[in-house]
Amino acid sequence: MKSAAAAFIMLALFAGQACLQESAEAAPTVYNKAYIQHDETWSGEIRLIGQNVVKRGCTLTILPGTIIKFPWIDEDKNNIGDGELTIEGRIIAKGTKDKPIVFTSAQPKPKMKDWTFVQIAMSRNSIVEYCKFEYAFTGLQVHYSTGTIKDNLFKNNFEGMRFSTTDVLIEHNDFIDNDFGIRCEALGSRTTIRNNLFRGNGQTFFPVRNTWNTVKIYDNNILDSREYAVNFGLSQKQDIDFTNNWWGTADASAIEALIYDKSKDDTLGKADFIPFLKEPVKDCGIE
C-alpha cells in the first residue's frame, strides 16, 4: 500500500512537473525595452515591447520556427508601433524553408506600421535567412554593417528593407506588397541585390540620395510596381546601374515609364536599365 501510494505521488509530481514545463514552453518570453548585454538564443515565441537593443559585442541567435511578435504601443503618438529590435552586435537568424523565423505584429488585426523595425547597425557578418517580416514600418534596416540577407519574405511592410553604408548580399528574397521595396542611401556601399523577386510594391526601389554605382542590382524580377519600379529621391543626383533585370516586359519604353529619374526630372541622376533581360530570371526569389 505504501509503495502504491508512493508511486501515485511520484506519478502526480511527474505529471505536474510535465504540465508546468509544457505551460512554460507555451508562454512567450517578453522583453520590455530591454538592453541585452550578453549572448542569447531565442526560440518559441518572443514578444518585444518598445525599443530592445542587443549590445555591441553580443550575439543574438534565433532558432528556426521562432516567432517574434511586437505588441502595439505608440508612446510618441505618431501612429507607428514602437516595437523595435536593434542589433548593435551580431544576429544569426537562420530559419529554414519549413520553419521560418517570423517577425510580425501582435495585433489581432495586423496592419502595416504596427511595429518599427529590425535594425542591424555596426555589425559584422550578420546572417538573416528564411525569415518573414510583415506589418512593420521597415522589415529590416541595415546600416554600417556586413552580412547576408537571403531567402527572406518581406511582405506588407511600409518599407521592405532600408540600408545605408553597408556591404551586404541581398539575394533570393521575396519583396511582396510593400509600399517601398528597398529604400537606400547607399554612399559607397558594395551591397549586391540579385535574384530577388519584387512583386506588387508601391515603389520597388527608392534611392533617396547618395546611392552610387557601387551597388550592384541585377538578375532580379521586378514586377507589378504600383507606382514606379524605380523612383529617384530629389537628392539622388548620381546614376545607378539597373541593367540586366527583368521588368515584366521587353518593351524599353514601357520600362522607362516605370522609372522616375533624369528622363522625367533633369536634376536627377539616371537609372541605366539598358540592356535589360528579355524574359524572367528563373531562379529568383526564395529558394
Site residues for other proteins per CB under 8 A: 33-35, 51-53, 55-56, 74-76, 78, 80, 82, 84, 86, 88, 116-117, 119, 121-124, 137-138, 141, 143-146, 162, 164-165, 167, 185, 187-188, 190, 210
Nearest to residue 224, comparing CAs of 177, 158, 256? 177
Q: To the nearest whole angstrom, how small is the minimum distance from the Cβ of residue 272 to other proteins?
A: 23
DSSP states along 77-129: -SSS---EEEESSEEEEE--SSS-EEEEE-SSS--TTSEEEEEEES-SSEEEE
**Nearer to other proteins among residue 121 and residue 271 (C-beta):** 121
Q: To the nearest whole angstrom, how small is the minimum distance from the Cβ of residue 146 to other proteins?
A: 5
CA-to-CA separations, 100 to 54, 67, 93, 211, 248, in angstroms, rounded: 21, 9, 9, 31, 29
**Nearer to other proteins among residue 238 and residue 249 (C-beta):** 238
84: β partners: 51, 117
Residue 283's Cβ-count burial label (10 Å; 0-12, 13-18, 19+) is exposed
**Nearer to other proteins among residue 36 and residue 93 (C-beta):** 36
Q: To the nearest whole angstrom, how small is the minimum distance from the Cβ of residue 166 to other proteins?
A: 9
**Nearer to other proteins among residue 156 and residue 210 (C-beta):** 210
Please enumerate in sequence order all residues whose Cβ is within 8 A of that of 278, keeping only pairs 6 or more positions apart, or say none.
250
**Nearer to other proteins among residue 63 and residue 73 (C-beta):** 73
101: β partners: 131
Q: To the nearest whole angstrom, how small is the minimum distance from the Cβ of residue 208 to other proteins?
A: 9
**Nearer to other proteins among residue 137 and residue 246 (C-beta):** 137
Q: How far apart are CA 89 and CA 107, in angstroms?
A: 29
Q: To the nearest whole angstrom, how small is the minimum distance from the Cβ of residue 103 to other proteins?
A: 15
Q: To the nearest whole angstrom, how small is the minimum distance from the Cβ of residue 183 to other proteins?
A: 9
Peptide bond connecting 275 to the previous residue in cis, omega within 30 degrees of 0: yes
